[in-house]
Amino acid sequence: MAGTWTKKGLVLKPDASLSWMKSHAMLPAPLHMEGSLYRIYFGGRNDKNQSHIGYAVIDMARPEKILELSKNPVLAPGRLGTFDDNGVLPSCLIRHGNEIYMYYIGFKPGGTTRMDLFGGLAISNDGGESFVRWSEAPIIERSRANPFINTAPWIVEDGKGGWLMYYVAGVEWIHPDLPRYNIQIATSIDGKNWNRNGRVAIDFADDENALARPYVTKNENGFHMWFSSKGEYYLPRQATSKDGLNWTRMNGDPVLIPSEGPDEEMICYPMILKHAGKEIMYYNGNAYGKDGLCLAVKE
């Protein structure tokens, strides 16, 4: 779609009156409700810097206006000792029959490294108002193919009765505070149990060190992915695929770059919706969304 992206600034700021959202509105992930209404799930942090998942209801006809904000989180950190006992962030939501699957990121501090990040699954039977873990263990844990970080799952049904997952896979730790990770592919027949062999969807280019949360859409022309790449700082990137397995990066400069204001440090975790001939992007800026959720629109 031709056109130019125009930044609209912050549209959702942390609400300090809510215990789970003292700071941040991180990693937006959409769930379509009806018409032009969407729930945008995101992670807010409490006064212990632990992420909880809540949502905002937004009408894409007025993408800058928050209609409703969840008073309580729909998913909180897990039990002590589990992979997500120090924080959870949404990555992808899909409807499956009468249920809603939320694939999410679980966080806990590491030992010899700064952190451990793995992907989990929680399921809602009340339309997305609350979620229950399908398992207290991650659905993408360390494996022979992926011995490091395995997180930020994005799921697409392949149209052949199977499921494709695009996820962030660690390839090494350069030092205890600096992991290196690309985007790899997993397959499943039920959306719960996943097969991984280390197949890479998007690999590093130039000075990149990290490729973050894939956001994938599928239509009659194939697959389209947005993701964030980090060299000096995070920028939004795109790639396309005919079959969902073999990917080609789109040429050209990033569609958005940091500028003075809430995204002067970085632009990361883009999610894109279309409405009335417009493309609508919500994304995070400074400190991974510490100030809230930013909006950009392309006419």
**pTM score:** 0.97
Contacts 24+ apart (CB under 8 A), 11-14: 11/63, 11/64, 11/65, 11/66, 11/282, 11/292, 11/293, 11/294, 11/295, 12/40, 12/42, 12/56, 12/66, 12/69, 12/292, 12/293, 13/291, 13/292, 14/44, 14/290, 14/291, 14/292
**In the chain, which stretches have pLDDT less than 50?**
none
Which pLDDT belongs to residue 2? 63
In angstroms, the CA 59 to CA 64 distance is: 9
Which pLDDT belongs to residue 233? 93
| Domain boundary assignment for the chain | 5-298
Which pLDDT belongs to residue 118? 98
Which pLDDT belongs to residue 251? 87
Which pLDDT belongs to residue 159? 76
Asked: is 5-298 a CATH 3.40.50.720 domain? The reply is no
Which pLDDT belongs to residue 253? 82
In angstroms, the CA 2 to CA 95 distance is: 30
Which pLDDT belongs to residue 8? 97
Tokens for 37, please give them.
Answer: 């209404």
Tokens for 130, please give them.
Answer: 């609350």
In angstroms, the CA 59 to CA 70 distance is: 15
Which pLDDT belongs to residue 183? 98
